[in-house]
Structure 1
Amino acid sequence: MTLTSPTGPKRSKTQFRTHAAIVSLALGVSVTLPAVVAMIAPTPVIAQEFPAFRQALAEGVGESRALSSFYREIGYTEVWTGAEHAARRSALVSALSRAEEHGLPSARYDLQGLLAAFNAVQTERDRGFVEARASLTFLQYARDISSGVLEPSAVISDIVRDLPRPDPAVLMREFTAAEPVSFIRNLAPSAPEYARLFHAKRELEDTIANGGWGPTVQAGSLQPGQHGSAVVALRNRLIAMGYMPRVATARYDGMMQRAVQEFQVAHGIDPDGVAGSATIREINVAPEERVRNIVVALERERWLNIPRGDRHVWVNLTDFSARVVDFDQVTFQTRSVVGSRANQTPEFSDVMEYLEINPDWTLPRSIVAEYWGALSSGGARHLNMIDGQGNVVPREYVDFARYSPTSLPFNVRQPPGPGNPLGEVKFMFPNAHAIYLHDTPSRSLFGHSVRAYSHGCIRLQDPRDFAYTLLGMQEVDPEAYYQRVLRSRQQTRVSLLTPVPVHLVYRTAFTSVTGRMNYRADIYRRDSRLYDALLRAGVEVGA
C-alpha cells in the first residue's frame, strides 16, 4: 500500500511515517523516541540486491581499518539496519540526543542527518551506506564520551596524557554482544566525580533558565555588622547558591558570616568570613561562566577514564594541595607549592616507586644558569661539581671561562643538609619531566592562598606525615622507621613495596563528596584555552 504526499512523489506507508516523524522533530512537535526509532527501520527489499548492500558497506567503512576488519569478520552483515536492531538504533538515537548534556559536540554526530539518511533509504546500496554511517557515528560518540573530544597535548603541550582511546573493532564486538542501552550508558566515565559534575551542570543550567543567582553585589567589600542594599544582594546570592537558607535579614550577621566562610572554602579563599574584594569578585561570577568551568572539567574527567589505583596520590595544581586517596576516601591531605607561571608544572600520571630520605639536589641546567655568576666567580661553595663517575671535582680544576651553563661537563649538586632545597625527603615517580614531590626549607610560602612559586616540582607542607602515610602500608611503625633513617644523615632510598599511582591534575571545577561544587582560579590559563578548543570542536554551551 502507498500513500501520496500532497507535495511529493509516492512513498510507502513506512517511508511516509518516517518522513512525518522527522518533520515533527524539526518543528518541535512531540513525538516519542520509540516511535521515531521504529519508523526509521528501512523497508525490506528483494534478497537478490544484497550484494549491493555489502559493496556499499565496504565502501562506507573503507577509511576505517578497524571497522572494515570488524565487518569482514561478520561477513558484512548488518548490525543497525535490520528489523531486529530497533533496540540498538533506539539506544544510539537516545544517546546522541543527550550528547550536549555531557558537554559533547552534538553537531559532530549529526543526529538529524542520520535520521534523514535512514528515511531516504530506497535501495540496498542506500542501506549499506546508512549502516556504515551509523557505525561511524557510534564509534565517534563512543570515543568522545569515553576518552575525550580533544587531543589535549595538541592544545597545551604541558598536558601529557595517554588517553584511553577504545579500540574500534573491540568496541563493535562488545557492543553487538551486549544489551545496547546499558552498554552505551557505561561508555561515560564511571568515576563518581564525573556523575557529580554532570548533575551539577544540569542544576546550573536549570538555575540559569530560571533567572540565575540574581543581581550582583555592588560593593568593593563587606564585613560583619554592615547592612543595606549591598548586604541584601550578598544574602540573596548566597541563598541562590545554596549557602544560606531563605531568611529576611538585611544585616551581615553571624549566619551570613558562616555562609561567607563556606563560600570561601569552596572557592579557595582564606575563610575569614569577611567579604573582601576577592570574595565579592567570586560571588559575582555569573553561573554561565561556572557552566563553562564544569564543561572543561567533564572533558578532563574523560581523559582520566582509567583505573586510578585503590590507593593513589592526587595533586590538584589549581587547589595547591596533595592528597592520598584510599578507595575513593581522602586519608591524608597537605598544602603544596606548584610551578610558577613561568615554570608551569605539567599534567600527567605516573607511579611513585620510592622515597629518598636525606636527598641531595642535582640542579637542572636552567637553574645552573641562575647560579652561573656565583659559580664562575668562586661563590656558591655549597654546590659541588660532579663528574660522570659521581666523584666531586675540586672547584679550582674547573675553568668556567671555557664553558656555559649548558656545556659544563659536570653536574652541579648540593649535598644533603638543612639548606638543601629538597629538604629532608623527596618522593620519586621517575618521569621525563623531572617532576617530583619534596620537602622544602622555605616554609613561609605555605601561608599564601596562591602558591605558584616553584621551578615545576611540587613542595609539600607536611612531607613527614605524607611519608608516614605512604610507609604505613609496609612498616609497623612508619614514623620510627623514617626518623631512624633521617638521623643517619645518609642519603637513603626507600622503595615502596607497592608502588602508588600519582595523578597531577588541573581542575578549576571539582566537587566535594557531598556534591558541592568547588572552583579555583585558572592560574596557568589552561582551562580558558581548552574551552576555546572545545568550542572550535563544536561544543555548544548555553545554546
Structure 2
Amino acid sequence: MNIKRRAGVAMIAIAVGFTGVVVAPPPVQAQGLLEALFKGPAQRQREKMARQQARQEAVPAAQPPKPVAKISGPTYRTYKPDALVNVDFSKLSDPITTGAIDDMGLAPLGIDPFTEGRAVLADLSLRALPEAAEAVIEHYSARPEYLWVAGTSVTERTLAVVAVLDDADAVGLSAADYKVDVPDDGFDITQGTERQKQLMAFEMKLSVAVANYILDATRGRIDPNRISGYHDFKRKSPDLADRLEALSKAADPAEALLAQNPQGAHFEALKAELVRLQQLDEGERIEIAENVLIKPGQSNPELSNVMAAIALKGSDALKVDNALVLASYAGKPEYDAEIVTLVKGFQKEAGLKPDGVIGPATRRALVGITNADKIEKVRLSMERARWLPGVLASRRVFINQPAYTATYFEGGRQELSMRVVVGTKSNQTYFFDDRIELVEFNPYWGVPQSIIINEMLPKLRADPSYLDRLGYEVTANGRAVSSSAVNWNAVGRGSGIGVRQPPSDGNALGELKILFPNSHAIYMHDTPSKSLFERDTRAYSHGCIRLEDPRAMAAKVLGTTVADIGGYIAGGRNQQVNLSSEIPVHVAYFTAWPNEAGKVEYFADIYGRDDYLRRAIDATEKARTS
C-alpha cells in the first residue's frame, strides 16, 4: 500500500512595498490513508480546525480596494510680485560734511562734488527691487563719484540713458517703472546747496532706475515659477554692481543699457512687430460664433458670416477662382459642395488641414484677432523671451507648444521644422530649458506613475492580467512580477509598482526617443499614432513631444544621416547613442513668434497661460505704483 503522509506547506503573503501587494497561492495539503483510518474522531476534528486556521492565515482576507488618490499636475497660483524695498543710504550719507557748507552754499576747497552732496542722502527716500537697492549701495561705496553728473549739469550721455528708460515700452517693459525727471539745465551760484541736493537726488534716482531696468530687461518682471509649476526656470541673477560700472565706462552707455534686453533676430522681430501694430487701425472684422462647427452637407446660419469673412480675408487668387460662388451667394444656410470647395481653398491658404470642416481653427483664421490682442500677445512674448538665455545658441532645438512645431537650428539658421503633438490641457507640457544628451533607439516606455494610477489601475482592479496580455513588464520594488500576481486593490501612490512597455511595433514611443533628462519626464519621441499630425489642433499627449519626423530630428542632433538612423532602428535592439556635444533645447510657450522669414505669427493660447501672465504683470505694476 502506498501510504502518504500529510504534507502541509506553509506559505505567507510576499510583502512588496507593503504587505498584501503581491500574493502567493494558498498552501497545498494532503492526508494519508492510514492517518484517516486510525485517528480518533476528536483528533481528526482538532486537525480539521487547525487546517482551516492555517488556510485563513495563508490567504489574506478579502479587503476593500484601497482608495485611489489621483496624481494631478501642477496648479496655477495667485501671483505674488517682487516687493520693492527702501534703499538704505545710511552707508553713503556723511553728515560731517553738512557743517562744512558755508552761508553761500559752497563747500571748502578740496571737497569733491560727490562728497559735497552726501548729506542729502540722509533724507532721500527711494524704493527699488531688493537686488537693485543692494547693488546701488555697493557700487557707490566702492566708487564714491558721480556716474551721471558732471560739475553742475547732466551730461549728454546721461540724457541718452534717460531716453532709453523713457522708451521702455518699446521693448515690452513699462516706462513708468523707470521714470526719472531730469533737473533743469543751468547753474545759479545762489542756489548752492539746493543745486547739490537736486543733482545728488537725480544721481541716485537714475542709478536705481537703471539697476531696476537691467534686472527687468535681463530676467523679466515676472518670476514664471510663481505662476505655476508648469514653468521651470532658474531665475537669472545679473551682477548689477558690475554692470553699473561697465555702463559708466561704455563708449555709448545708452546702447549698452539697451543691450541688456534679449539679443537676436527673434526679439528684433517682436520689437518691429510692436511698432507696426501700434501704427495700424483696427480695420474691418467679421464676427463668427465661437462654438461654430459646420460640416459639409449641414445647414447653419453662421455660414453667411463665414462667406463674408472669406470675401474679406481670402487672397485675390482664391476670390478669382471662386468668383461665381461668391457673387451668387445669397445668404443661404446650406453648406453645399461649391462652398465646401471654397472653404477648402481658404483652409489650404491658411496652412490648415483642407477638410472643409468649419471648426475652431478655421474660425480663428477667418475672424483673426484684433490689433489690440496682437499687441498684448507680442508684449507677453517679449516678457517670456527674457526667461530664455539672453542670446540663443546658434545650434539649438526650439519647440513652440502653441504653434505645435519643433525646429532645429544650425549656425543660427533654421534647417528643419516639423509638426508635433503636445500635452492635453489636463496633461500640459512644461515650459523650460534643457540640453539634449542622447537618442535611444527601439526604446522601452517606462509608464509614468500618473498613468499607472489614474488610467491603468481601474482596469487592473477589474482584470489583474490586463498588462500580462498586452506584454507589459511589471516590477514591485524592482523585482519582476506577473501582473496577475499583484493585488491591485492594495496598490496606490508610493506602492513601489513599476510598469514598462518593451520595444515593439506598438510601443507608445515608436522607434526612438530623444532625451534631455529632466524632473518632468518630458522628451521628444516617435509615435504609432501618425494621423494626429494631420489635425490643426494637436494637444493629445500626456506631456511629451511627439515628432512628425523623428528620424530626421535624430539625424540632426546626432550629426548623421537619416539612413544611419534607419540602421540603428533596423537592428531591433534597444540601445542609446550619446551626442558628441549636448544641444540646448527650449520647450517653450509663445502665442506670438516670428517664422523663418521674420514675420510674427499668432497662435491659440492652448493652455490659457496668456491670461495668467497678464494677471501677473498687472499685479506687478500695481505693486510698483502703490
Distance, in Å, in 1 between the alignment partners of 2:274 and 2:382 is: 10
Deviation at 1:514, TM superposition (A): 2.9
2:474 to 349, 373, 385: 385
1:366 to 444, 447, 450: 450
Deviation at 1:412, TM superposition (A): 1.6
Q: How many equivalent residue pairs?
A: 473
Give the match for residue 219 of structure 2. 147
Question: Percent identity at matched positions?
Answer: 28
Deviation at 1:465, TM superposition (A): 1.8
Deviation at 1:413, TM superposition (A): 1.6
Give the match for residue 298 of structure 1. 382
SS in 2 for 1:313: strand
Give the match for residue 172 of structure 1. 244
2:583 to 500, 509, 512: 500
The one-character-per-residue Cα deviations of 1:477-509 (angstroms, maximum 9, x if unpaired) are x33433333233222110001111110111111
Give the match for residue 29 of structure 1. none
Quick check: 1:47 aligned with 2:107?
Answer: yes
Distance, in Å, in 2 between the alignment partners of 1:105 and 1:347 is: 24
Q: 1:222 to 1:426 in 2, by over 3 A?
A: closer
Distance, in Å, in 1 between the alignment partners of 2:525 and 2:273 is: 35
Aligned amino acid, residue 118 of structure 2: R
Distance, in Å, in 2 between the alignment partners of 1:236 and 1:443 is: 35
Give the match for residue 264 of structure 1. 350
Between 1:422-431 and 1:49-58, the stretch displaced more is 49-58
Distance, in Å, in 2 between the alignment partners of 1:132 and 1:387 is: 64
The one-character-per-residue Cα deviations of 1:52-89 (angstroms, maximum 9, x if unpaired) are 52354587689622222211221x11111224751332
CA contact (8 A) 1:243 1:263 kept: no
Aligned amino acid, residue 107 of structure 1: A
CA contact (8 A) 1:368 1:405 kept: no
Query: Rg bigger for which structure?
Result: 2
Give the match for residue 30 of structure 1. none
CA contact (8 A) 1:228 1:250 kept: no
Deviation at 1:343, TM superposition (A): 0.7
CA contact (8 A) 2:262 2:391 kept: no
1:156 to 225, 228, 235: 228
Distance, in Å, in 1 between the alignment partners of 2:535 and 2:260 is: 41
Quick check: 1:134 aligned with 2:206?
Answer: yes
Distance, in Å, in 2 between the alignment partners of 1:231 and 1:443 is: 33
Distance, in Å, in 2 between the alignment partners of 1:157 and 1:205 is: 34
1:352 to 436, 447, 461: 436
Between 1:427-436 and 1:270-279, the stretch displaced more is 270-279
Between 1:230-239 and 1:505-514, the stretch displaced more is 230-239
Distance, in Å, in 1 between the alignment partners of 2:169 and 2:317 is: 29
- Unaligned segments of structure 2, at least 5 residues: 1-103, 297-302, 328-341
Distance, in Å, in 1 between the alignment partners of 2:305 and 2:126 is: 64
2:148 to 56, 63, 80: 80
Aligned amino acid, residue 182 of structure 2: L
Quick check: 1:108 aligned with 2:165?
Answer: no
Deviation at 1:393, TM superposition (A): 2.7
1:421 to 504, 508, 514: 508
The one-character-per-residue Cα deviations of 1:108-141 (angstroms, maximum 9, x if unpaired) are 1233xx3369999815345333322110001112
Aligned amino acid, residue 385 of structure 1: V
Q: 1:222 to 1:124 in 2, by over 3 A?
A: farther
State the TM-score, normalized to the length of structure 2. 0.67
The one-character-per-residue Cα deviations of 1:139-194 (angstroms, maximum 9, x if unpaired) are 11222223212112212331222344422111101101102122123222211111
Quick check: 1:485 aligned with 2:557?
Answer: no
Give the match for residue 207 of structure 1. 280
Distance, in Å, in 2 between the alignment partners of 1:485 and 1:194 is: 39
CA contact (8 A) 1:316 1:322 kept: yes
Give the match for residue 7 of structure 1. none
Distance, in Å, in 2 between the alignment partners of 1:138 and 1:259 is: 52
Distance, in Å, in 2 between the alignment partners of 1:188 and 1:252 is: 48
Aligned amino acid, residue 393 of structure 1: V
SS in 2 for 1:47: coil
Distance, in Å, in 2 between the alignment partners of 1:274 and 1:94 is: 51
2:286 to 208, 212, 216: 216
Deviation at 1:107, TM superposition (A): 1.8
CA contact (8 A) 2:420 2:533 kept: yes
Question: For residues 525-536 of structure 1, what are the structure 2 equivalents within 5 Å?
Answer: 525-536=608-619
CA contact (8 A) 1:356 1:493 kept: yes
2:621 to 528, 538, 541: 538
1:343 to 401, 424, 427: 427
SS in 2 for 1:181: helix
Q: 1:201 to 1:77 in 2, by over 3 A?
A: same
Give the match for residue 517 of structure 1. 600
Q: 1:494 to 1:277 in 2, by over 3 A?
A: closer
Distance, in Å, in 2 between the alignment partners of 1:132 and 1:400 is: 67
Distance, in Å, in 2 between the alignment partners of 1:312 and 1:122 is: 56
The one-character-per-residue Cα deviations of 1:342-383 (angstroms, maximum 9, x if unpaired) are 010010000000011111111111111121234442221122
**What root-mean-square deviation, in Å, do the aligned CA atoms of Structure 1 and Structure 2 show?**
3.7
Give the match for residue 8 of structure 1. none
Quick check: 1:447 aligned with 2:534?
Answer: yes
Distance, in Å, in 2 between the alignment partners of 1:86 and 1:434 is: 54
CA contact (8 A) 2:509 2:526 kept: yes
1:66 to 126, 135, 139: 135
